[in-house]
Amino acid sequence: MEVIPAIDLLDGNCVRLNQGDYHKVTQFSSNPKSQAIYWQKNGAKRLHLVDLNGAKTGNISNDEPILEISKSLQIPIQIGGGIRSIERAKQLLNYGIEKVILGTIAIEQPDLVIKLTNMYPGRIIIGIDAKDGKVATRGWITQSEINATDLAREISNQDIAAIISTDISTDGTLEGPNIESLRSIAEVSKVPVIASGGIGSIADLLSLIPLEEQGVKGVIVGRALYDKKFDLKNAQKALSSPRLQDFTKTNSYFA
């Protein structure tokens, strides 16, 4: 299972929200490019990038740091936030971004998602952000009546790369992932699922391992890394160790 560090951009800064609340912002860095390079140097195999301004309003305001990050890294980048048109998706892919993440338009413009997956097969990720099992859109501000599992079942029939399943109630809380929600998404999805939300410890990462056989192939980690609950190398080691029991006994984070 792959550990994917996250950078969330808000007004050009590297931040994290608590449960998707734009009024609960913690700034971690004013230099997202340096932060991205740091993750690459520390062993990241890919970077998860989110344009929070774009997610909230659909307006483009973080392209300067996005382009700087793309030019500075050798690892693949996946990006989401405010991608609601073919033109915007094409623009980001032309920046050198490997995959784009669609969220709101999967609900509001499903035909556009089909067009994009036909144009860029295997380069589109669908982000399903849910609270109490219902999909939220527009930067988690608007709550729909669509079941997350129904959307996952339907959307995974298309030529997409993966589904990112985010449980809004756990995101940024460090209180652990919503295992049942992840399992329900993975059980109906025909494509790999990436977990997001709630990771606060190595133990939380290990709790995802039983879901790997069901299709959960990656996990996005943000606040826990920034708050130094664990480091990226230890997280990767935890999920790749063939003898997890021995790892938990010897790793200091379990002391």
Predicted confidence (pLDDT) per residue in 143-164, tens digit: 667 899 999 999 999 999 999 9
Q: How far is CA 98 from CA 47, 88, 143, 230, 254, in A?
A: 10, 14, 29, 27, 35
Task: State how far the Cα of 99 lies from the Cα of 77, in Å rounded to an integer.
Answer: 7
Catalytic entry in 8, 51, 167, 171: 8
Structure tokens given for 150: 């129904």
- Average of pLDDT values for 35-57? 94
pLDDT at 20: 65
What is the share, in percent, of the chain residues with pLDDT greater than 70? 89
Q: Which domain holds residue 129?
A: 2-254
Which CATH number goes with the domain that contains 63? 3.20.20.70
Residue 18's pLDDT band, with cuts at 50, 70 and 90, is confident
pTM of the predicted model, to two decimals?
0.88
Catalytic entry in 11, 51, 129, 167: 129
Pick from 68, 10, 16: nearest CA to 37: 68
Q: Dihedral sign for Cα 12, 196, 218, 29, please.
A: positive
User: Has 8 been annotated as catalytic?
Assistant: yes
- Average of pLDDT values for 50-79? 93
User: Has 171 been annotated as catalytic?
Assistant: no
Instruction: Count structural domains, the chain.
Output: 1
